[in-house]
Structures are given as structure tokens and as C-alpha cells.
Chains A and B, each alone.
Chain A
Amino acid sequence: MMTYIVFILSVIFVISFVGFSSKPSPIYGGLVLIVSGGVGCGIIMNFGGSFLGLMVFLIYLGGMLVVFGYTTAMATEQYPEVWVSNTTVMGVFLLGLLMEVMLVLYVLKSEEVGVVFKFSGVGDWAIYDTGDSEVFSEEIMGVAALYSYGAWVVIVTGWSLLVGVLVILEVTRGD
């Protein structure tokens, strides 16, 4: 099972995305978002990116999602919608689940899947450790490169975040 752990994690990833895309109440959306964040962290860590996975848990789940959960709890209604309460929500969830199951069966059965890109069944999802970069970890070097060669990206994303705050305040301010 450990060979195919990335495949299993990515299937759980897609299922939890389907879970919040079928639009239950935001509280339950946040619940599956926690699951998807954790599973995504697992996928990244299997590729050797332990630092980035920790970032996902700490900043995304522990920072942003907690704030989101608190604000949603303040604005929630008396009977929030679950996946089984509304026919539409359940229908969309089951449809997404069905499509994912069919895709998984297709991948498992056939040798090669060529939808947009060709990948050969489950084999392509397994992690092969080539053992090259043992001296330094690639992903931490990537984060370091973001602040040296990628200074323009940092400036642009920082400015976008600032303008995002200004825009949201402006939009919700009203008259």
C-alpha cells in the first residue's frame, strides 16, 4: 500500500473537494477543507517537501481556516445544510463521487490512461527515490530562491494581498 500512498491520498483529496463543492453550509465545507488540507500536506510530504507540508498545516489549517471557522460560526444559521439534508447537495456529491470512482476504476484496470496527458495506470503515481539530492533538500532551496531570484514574485504577491484587503474592505463597506 505504501507504494500507492500518493494515489490513495489524491483520491481522498478529490473526494473532499467534491464534498465542499457540492455546497453544504460553510461549517461543513470547512470540515472537509481540513481533511483536504491534511491530505494535501501528506501528498507534498511524500514528495520530500516536509517544510511545505508543515506550512500547510500551520498557516493554512492553523491560521486561515481557524479564522474562517470563527467567522462562519458567527454568521451561521439555525439549521445549517448538511450533505443529506438537501436533495441537490446530495445529488451533486454523489455525482462527483461516482465520477471519481469511475476514474479510479479506469486507472486501476487499464494499462494507460490518455485523457489529456498519458500516464500509465497507477505506476506513475508511485514515488521513485532517485537518491540524487541528498546534500540539500530541494524544496527548502526553492523557498530560499523565492526570496532571492524571485524577489519580483514576492513584491507582486505582497502587493496583491494588500490590495485584496483594501478591495474587500471597500466592497463590504457599502455606502
Chain B
Amino acid sequence: MNPLIFTTILMTVLLGTMIVMMSSHWLMIWIGFEMNLLAIIPILMKKYNPRTMEASTKYFLTQATASMLLMMAIIINLMHSGQWTITKVFNPTASIIMTSALAMKLGLTPFHFWVPEVTQGISLTSGLILLTWQKLAPMSILYQISPSINLNILLTMAVLSILVGGWGGLNQTQLRKIMAYSSIAHMGWMTAVLAYNPTLTMLNMLIYIMMTLTMFMLFIHSSSTTTLSLSHTWNKTPLTTTLILITLLSMGGLPPLSGFMPKWMIIQELTKNNSIILPTLMAIMALLNLYFYMRLTYSTSLTMFPSTNNMKMKWQFETKRITFLPPLIVMSSLLLPLTPMLSILD
């Protein structure tokens, strides 16, 4: 793609999300979502083959439907409250429709079906933008309307997302689909605590973005999109195998690593609000996630995965320069001791 056009379109994606996050008028928020959607389509279609075109079409259709539902919720809110300012949505119908629309944009169950298919059809860099940057805008709106969201619907969607994210990822060998199901599960964790303490949603979003960024960059660095291809990194860059191990265990939420911090805080916040069964169920279902991360680490770092002898050497392409990879790896594994700093958030 012409570099000038590509920069313009990428800046428009950024501008769209910024407009969503900074506007106080519901119509401008809707415009921001549409600008974001319009500009990300050519980024998803960077490589020109039928798979990317199909993935972009699916993404466009689902996100456009979600935008239409959002517009309807905005208009119902306008009719009942008479004003366009972003506050919590007082009318229950508008609140439910808006929550469903934002859940469709995020990829929460029962609207999660597009996430693995779209992520699989596009290149790794586009998948990175899709799973990290595109989650910021809907989550910021959910944060702003969080006092008025129907708790039953929110918690049902959250728990089902964690379940689907865990179970769906079990049968996958394609790395992009694994990351998609991991995204669904993490979105479930984020929305579960939204009604209780929205700050923790933002914390989880921050740590999730760092870890997903790290994972994708490690995949890009070793140019691998399947488990088999990833299992050959011991041959090319042995250091990457250790880093993949650490980052994957952090994504699974294991204690000495940063991924444990959001899960710990969320479970603590939920138990403070006298719900015991819910965080227990969520923690148990996070084990499903941990299982397929462990399977990836097993095949990549802990064993020399079986393959035929002439496949053991990976093609030595020119080493890609990945920006910020070392700081990202450090941040996605070593942030746990900084947890007491969260007290500044009050």
C-alpha cells in the first residue's frame, strides 16, 4: 500500500478511537465508531487474498450491525431523557440494547462467533491491531455507562465468555485462533467486574493489552502462525522460547507474573461484594485457558517437538526489528510487585 495512504488510514483508526473516548455527545461517539470501522477495513485487507477479504467482510457486517444497535439505543435514550450528553443511560431498554451493541463490538458471548474467524483470516500485525486497539473504544463506553448496566445480562455475558473462551480454544492449533479465544475470555473477566469496580476493568485492559502485544510480537518475530511452526523456534532463536514461556504463563494468570494481578484484584473485588460462587466459577474456568497456554509452552519451550528431520531448520529470513519488545516482555511478566501502587487509583 502506498505509505502515505497507509499512514493516513492508520491515523484515522487512531482518530476514530480518540473521538469515541473524548466525546460528550452520543452522536459523535457513533461517528467515532464508524470512522474506526471504515478505516480499519483496508488495514485488515493488507494482504490481498480471498481469506482476508472474507474476514474483513465478516468484521464489517458484525460491527455495522453493532453500530446500528448503538444508534437505536442512543435514540431511545434521547427520546426518554431529552438530551444527548453521555451519562449513565437511565432507560432500561436503551441500556440493554446499548450493552448488547457494545458486547457485539467487543466479541463477548453470545456475539463472539466473529472473533476467531476474523482473526484467523488476517495477517498477524492486523490481528494485533484488531485484538488490542479495537477493544479500547467499546470498553471506554462501557466504563462510562457502567452504573446503569443491567447486572444480570452483564454477568451472564461475562461468565459465558470466559467459558467459551476457555473451551473454544482447547481444540485449536492455529495461533491466531488461540489468541482470539484468549481475547474472548479476557473480555469476559473485564466485564465481570465492570459493575463492581470499573477501575479494575481498566487495569485488566491495560495488562491484557501489554501481554497480547508481547505475544503477537513474539509470533511476528518468529514468523509463526501455527503451533508446529512455533515449536521450531528453539532452533532459530532459543531466547524467544523462554520469553514465550514466561509470557504465556503470565497470560494464564500464574502468580509471580503480572497476569496474576488483574485476576487477583477482580476476585478480591467480587468477594468483597459478597459473591462467592461467581469468582470461584471464573477462576475454575480460567484453568481451561491455562491448559491451552500450557500446551503451547510444552510444544515450544519445554520439549523439542517431534517433526521430520528436514523440517527442523526454519528458513532464516531477515530478522524483523520489533519495536519495544524487551520492555513489553519485562512489563508483561514482572509487574506483580507493583500491585500496592494500585492504591493511588482511589
Chain A residues near B147 (CB-CB < 8 A): none
**Does A166 belong to the interface (CB within 8 Å)?**
yes
State A66–B33 Cα separation when bound (angstroms): 29
Q: Which of A7-15, A33-41, A49-57, A156-164 contacts B (4 or more CB under 8 A)?
A: A156-164
User: Nearest chain-A residue to B40 (Cβ)?
Assistant: A167
State A164–B35 Cα separation when bound (angstroms): 9
- Check if B39 sits within 8 Å of A163, measured CB to CB: yes
State how many angstroms separate the Cβ of A149 from the closest Cβ of chain B. 12
State A175–B2 Cα separation when bound (angstroms): 11
Chain A residues near B39 (CB-CB < 8 A): 163, 167
Known A-B contacts A156-B28, A156-B31; A167 and B79 likewise in contact (beta carbons under 8 Å): no
Chain B residues near A157 (CB-CB < 8 A): 31
**Does B76 belong to the interface (CB within 8 Å)?**
yes
Contact of B19 among A156, A163, A166 (CB under 8 A): A156
Which positions 147-175 of chain A face chain B at CB distance < 8 Å?
152-153, 156-157, 159-160, 163-164, 166-167, 170-171, 174-175
State how many angstroms separate the Cβ of A164 from the closest Cβ of chain B. 6
State how many angstroms separate the Cβ of B76 from the closest Cβ of chain A. 6
- Check if B38 sits within 8 Å of A153, measured CB to CB: no
Known A-B contacts A171-B45, A175-B48; A163 and B12 likewise in contact (beta carbons under 8 Å): yes
Contact with A along B1-23 (1 / 0, CB 8 A): 10001001100100100010000
Q: Chain A's interface: helix, strand, loop or mixed, by majority?
A: helix
- Check if B80 sits within 8 Å of A167, measured CB to CB: no
**Does B271 belong to the interface (CB within 8 Å)?**
no
State A170–B35 Cα separation when bound (angstroms): 16
State A160–B42 Cα separation when bound (angstroms): 14
Q: Chain B's interface: helix, strand, loop or mixed, by majority?
A: helix
Known A-B contacts A153-B28, A157-B31, A163-B35; A171 and B12 likewise in contact (beta carbons under 8 Å): no
**Does A79 belong to the interface (CB within 8 Å)?**
no
User: Nearest chain-A residue to B79 (Cβ)?
Assistant: A117
- Check if A167 sits within 8 Å of B31, measured CB to CB: no
- Check if A166 sits within 8 Å of B35, measured CB to CB: no
Known A-B contacts A170-B42, A174-B48; A160 and B31 likewise in contact (beta carbons under 8 Å): yes
Known A-B contacts A156-B28, A174-B48; A163 and B9 likewise in contact (beta carbons under 8 Å): yes
**Does A74 belong to the interface (CB within 8 Å)?**
no
State how many angstroms separate the Cβ of A81 from the closest Cβ of chain B. 21
Known A-B contacts A117-B79, A117-B80, A160-B38; A166 and B31 likewise in contact (beta carbons under 8 Å): no
State how many angstroms separate the Cβ of A130 from the closest Cβ of chain B. 18
User: Nearest chain-A residue to B76 (Cβ)?
Assistant: A116
State how many angstroms separate the Cβ of A135 from the closest Cβ of chain B. 24
User: Nearest chain-B residue to A169 (Cβ)?
Assistant: B5
- Check if B9 sits within 8 Å of A170, measured CB to CB: yes
Contact of B35 among A116, A117, A152, A156 (CB under 8 A): A156
User: Nearest chain-B residue to A160 (Cβ)?
Assistant: B35
Of B8, B76, B79, most buried by chain A (CB within 10 Å of CB) is: B8
Chain A residues near B35 (CB-CB < 8 A): 156, 159-160, 163
State how many angstroms separate the Cβ of A23 from the closest Cβ of chain B. 15
State how many angstroms separate the Cβ of A100 from the closest Cβ of chain B. 18
State how many angstroms separate the Cβ of B178 from the closest Cβ of chain A. 29
State how many angstroms separate the Cβ of B138 from the closest Cβ of chain A. 19
Chain A residues near B339 (CB-CB < 8 A): none
- Check if A170 sits within 8 Å of B76, measured CB to CB: no
User: Nearest chain-A residue to B6 (Cβ)?
Assistant: A170
Known A-B contacts A156-B19, A166-B9; A171 and B79 likewise in contact (beta carbons under 8 Å): no
Q: Which 6 A-B pairs have the closest CB atoms?
A: A170-B42, A163-B12, A175-B48, A160-B35, A167-B42, A117-B79
17 contacts between A and B (CB under 8 A): A116-B93, A117-B76, A117-B79, A117-B80, A152-B28, A156-B28, A156-B35, A163-B8, A163-B38, A164-B38, A166-B5, A166-B8, A167-B41, A170-B9, A170-B42, A170-B45, A174-B48
Known: A164-B38, A171-B45, A175-B48. 8 other contacts (CB 8 A): A156-B31, A159-B15, A160-B31, A160-B34, A163-B8, A163-B9, A167-B42, A170-B5
